[in-house]
Amino acid sequence: MLVFVALALPVLAGMVGLGIDTSMLFLAHSRLQTAVDSAALAGSLQLPFDPELDQGLVVAAVNDLMARNFPEAEITDISQGGELRSVRVTARAEVDMLLLGVLGVTSKYVEASALAGFNNLEIVFVIDNSGSMKGTPISETNQAAENLVDLVMPDGGASSVKVGLVPFRGKVRIGTGVDAYPAGCRNADGSLNTGLLEQYEDQEYRYPSWYPLMVSSDTCSSIPETLGLSTDKGAVISAINSQDALGDFSGTVVSEGLKWGRHVLTPEAPFSEGSGEDDMRKIMIILTDGDTEDGMCGGAHGAYYTPNNYWTNAYYGMGVTDCHCGDGGCLDQAVLDEAQIAKDEGIEIFAIRFGQSDAVDIEIMKAVASSKPGTDDHYFDAPSAYDIDEIFKLIGRQLGWRLLH
């Protein structure tokens, strides 16, 4: 028995030592993988500001996280992640051996790699195209949106990202082949908007009663068409740059922008390009510079006579004349209702308020945004047109926070 035990002890000791070595390698690899994942995610947050990894921001973020989480590790690679806009991080760590050390192998290396960045995204820009956006505001918005598209859809990449666009004023304009209705602008009930309804031309609707009818014959064709989700980067950028905020106005009905943004992102008609897969992150970015407006609010954009061009918006166009702006009014409630419908569909909303706003408008847009409880992380205030590009980059940081392996 003693002889048997004597012979078995080295074997048992070897098995214990091998088990310890294996456990040490496993634990070291797990720790390294966690550290590399965190470092890749930290690097991806800098991609909006350093998309080509040539500004040093991504590298610095990766090095900082690795130094804090696993200072003994050696980073062997920080590079772009191929066809997707992403950052790849590879690192290794040396692990001292117990049993293998007796056999002359004093240490072994474990290696881990992670890829983080932009994928499985469907994004729709919902952009205020009313007249107050013309000039610098719309040009800065277009450039900011184009920069974000360039970030999430790199040239030559096989993109898992789709982008759409909903320009809105008092209504939205839909092109051919979208649904059963003819191309043109749409009322809030989906019907075709034909401009000022014939009954509103009667003298009884005029105020002052002697005032001549002053409604533009066409408040639709100058609104850019809505673009469904597309992987064609050129088509997306062309659509964005078609926005100039010129032409005859019909108000600012924010709820219609939200509604058609939802239609673009969901797979059901009238637009069907949206994915129904659970792993697709659906993003709406809405920017507006004014009240949801139909001329009844007074102020700089109020109309002192009726009918006016506001009477061709998405509500008047279907014969509804009692849904007006004003704090807590029908149009404000429609904004909140449409935002909630979109959120219930799994859509994440980033809301940008541009220009000078009163407290009510700000609170409405904060309610529209999909911010985490207790935060305003999906709401942004842009006092100047020159703040818009920076805000789009900050939104880009939140879109890139995803491991891809």
Q: What percent of the chain is predicted at pLDDT more than 70? A: 92
CA 288 to chain centre: 15
List C-alpha distances in Å: 248 to 140, 142, 168, 195, 357: 21, 20, 13, 11, 24
- And the tokens for 100? 């293998």
How far is 118 from 395, CA to CA, in rounded Å?
12
Give the count of beta carbons closer than 10 Å to the beta carbon of residue 13: 12
Q: Where are the alpha helices (H) located in 46-92, listed in sequence order?
A: 57-69
pLDDT reported for residue 12: 45
> How many Å apart are CA 58 and CA 39, to the nearest integer?
10
Three-class HEC string of 248-265: CCCCECHHHHHHHHHHHH
- Spell 230-250 as b/e; 16+ CB within 10 A means b: beebeebbebbeebbbebbbb
Q: Which of 173-177, 180-184, 393-397 has the lowest mean pLDDT?
A: 180-184
Domain ranges of the chain: 2-115, 121-399
* CA 334 vs CA 146, 261, 325, 330, 358: distances in Å: 29, 14, 10, 6, 19
**Cβ proximity of 188 and 320 under 8 Å:** yes
CA–CA gap between residue 65 and residue 116 (Å, rounded): 14
133 CB burial (10 A radius; 0-12, 13-18, 19+): buried
- Give the type of residue at 128: D
Using 50, 70 and 90 to split pLDDT, how confident is the model at 141? very high
When mean pLDDT is compared across 9-18, 82-91, 121-130, 378-387, the lowest value belongs to 9-18
CA–CA gap between residue 205 and residue 49 (Å, rounded): 54
Q: What percent of the chain has pLDDT over 90?
A: 72
Residue 288 identity (one-letter amino acid): T
Tracing tokens 């500001």 back to the chain, one arrives at 49
Q: How far apart are CA 164 and CA 284, in angstroms?
A: 9
C-beta neighbour count of 104 within 10 angstroms: 7
Of 48 and 107, the one with more pLDDT: 48
Could you count the other beta carbons within 10 Å of the beta carbon of residue 61?
22
Question: What CATH superfamily classification does 121-399 receive?
Answer: von Willebrand factor, type A domain (3.40.50.410)
Single-letter residue type at 307? P
**Candidate from 134-148, 204-218, 385-399 with smallest mean pLDDT:** 204-218
Parallel/antiparallel/unpaired status of strands 86-96 and 107-117 = antiparallel
Region 189-218: what's the mean pLDDT?
A: 91
How many CA atoms does the CB half-sphere of 235 hold within 13 Å? 12
6: pLDDT confidence band, cut at 50, 70 and 90? Answer: very low
Contact 83, 370 (CB under 8 A): no
Tell me the pairing of strands 379-382 and 121-128.
unpaired
Judged against a pLDDT cut of 60, whether residue 101 lies above it is answered with no
**Whats the size of the chain, residue-wise?**
405
Whole-angstrom distance, CA of residue 186 vs CA of residue 170 = 10
Q: Kind and range of the H or E element at 338?
A: helix 330-344
| Distance in angstroms (rounded) separating the CA atoms of residues 358 and 382 | 13
Q: What is the DSSP string of 103-125?
A: TT--EEEEEEEEEEE--SEEEEE
CA–CA dist 79, 116 (Å, integer): 11
Give the pTM.
Answer: 0.89
Q: Determine the Cα–Cα distance for residues 4 and 9; give it in Å rounded to an integer.
A: 9
Query: Given a cut of 90, is residue 20 above it in pLDDT?
Result: no
The type of residue at 346 is: G
What is the CB neighbour count within 10 angstroms for residue 83?
13
Q: How many angstroms separate the Cα of 20 from the Cα of each of 15, 134, 322, 363?
A: 9, 69, 77, 59
